[in-house]
Every structure is written in C-alpha cells, then in structure tokens.
Amino acid sequence: MNIGILGGTNLATNLGNKFIGRGMDVVFGVREGFSTRKVEWKILKMQNHYVLNYADAITASDVVIICCENEFLPVVCDYLKQYGSPDKLYIDSTNGVHNESVDCNTTYIRNETGYQRIFKAFNNLGLDYPKSDPLELIKETYFCGDNPKDKQLLKKLIELIGFKAIDAGMIKNACLLEAVYHLSKEISMAKSGDCHFRLMSV
C-alpha cells in the first residue's frame, strides 16, 4: 500500500515520518514553487523519500492524506479530480475556517471531487502538529466515514502510527470534528496556551 501525503505542513512531515518509521511506502506531494529548504524536508530528500508535485504524488498513491493549508485546498481538489480516482482512499486532515455559513473542508472536498471514499482523521492534531503538542500528550485521533470496510482500514492505519483511533460515526460528522478543533483553539486563546480535548469513558 502506497501512502501519499499532500501539503507542505508540519503535520504532513510528521505523519509521513511516522508511517515511514512503520515500514510504509510514503510519497509527499507539494505545490509548485514550494521550498524544501526547511530541515525536515531536507532530511526527507536526503533519505531518498519522494517529494513530488501534487499530480505525481496522487498518481503514485493508494491512500491520499490531505494536509494542506486552506488557501491551497481548491488547487488540491483540482488535482484530485484530474489525477485521482474513485478507487483511492482519501483522508481529510484539515480544518476549514470557523464560519457557520461555510461548509467544512471535508464536505467541500467531497462536493468538488465527487469521490465517495473520503474520510476525516487526524484533524484534531492541527497543521502545526507537533508544535501544538510539544510534550506529545495527544494520544488519540477521531475519524469518521461511511464505508465500514474502509473505516477498518483507516482505524488500522491510525493505530499503526501509535494513536488511539476513536470512531466518530458517519462522514456527516466531519463538520462536528472541525468544530471541536476550533473550540479547542478558542479555549487555547483564552488560556494563552495550547489546549486539547481528551475523550473519557465512564
């Protein structure tokens, strides 16, 4: 199984390195003109891990994880339509703007591409992860989607890299997962420090 991670973010390199550490084949897709001068990207290139453009990364992947900034999401969707296929598994790890009048990113990606194998996962980490969690206290991530078989695969991928996978139901709940992320950021701003939610069963 080949994993493609789209976006030049901290989350992209961190998830990629976790999968590489578990023996998975990973390629990274970045936008045209993206600078790979940062240390983490230089290391990836030195280790012969593929840093490609969006098109080549999507083509080479069975599972595509979307970790790009919101400003580049329309471009990513265009590439997904051109070079993706309904047979691939797509994981949206982004968070849209905090605006009730705007659909969440997962809904946007689904509407723009027309693909049904789209899932939400890892968005609680944020694109700046692990800077937002320097002590590595986050041990869980939530995921949602409609296909039970694909959800089992996604659960295994999440657990493979050391996170507890918490099933958040159907894909319609992707907007709720984004809302939880935005709420954590609002609380963090009020407390002047990073805050994260943890699910507890009693």
Report DSSP letters for 56-117, one per residue: HHHHT-SEEEE---GGGHHHHHHHHHHH--TTSEEEE-----S-TTS--HHHHHHHHH--S-
The C-alpha atoms of residue 40 and residue 56 are separated, in whole angstroms, by 21
Q: How would you write the pLDDT of the chain (202 residues) with one tens digit per residue?
A: 999 999 999 999 999 999 999 999 999 999 988 877 788 787 887 776 688 999 999 999 999 999 999 999 999 999 999 999 999 999 999 998 866 666 899 999 999 999 999 999 999 999 998 887 877 788 999 999 999 999 999 999 999 999 999 999 999 999 999 988 888 777 766 766 666 666 655 4
Could you give the 3-state DSSP secondary structure of residue 171?
Answer: helix
Q: What was the pLDDT predicted at 12?
A: 95
Whole-model pTM: value is 0.90
What was the pLDDT predicted at 127?
92
Predicted local confidence at residue 41, as pLDDT: 80
Interatomic CA distance for residues 165 and 159, integer angstroms:
6
Parallel/antiparallel/unpaired status of strands 164-167 and 50-53: unpaired
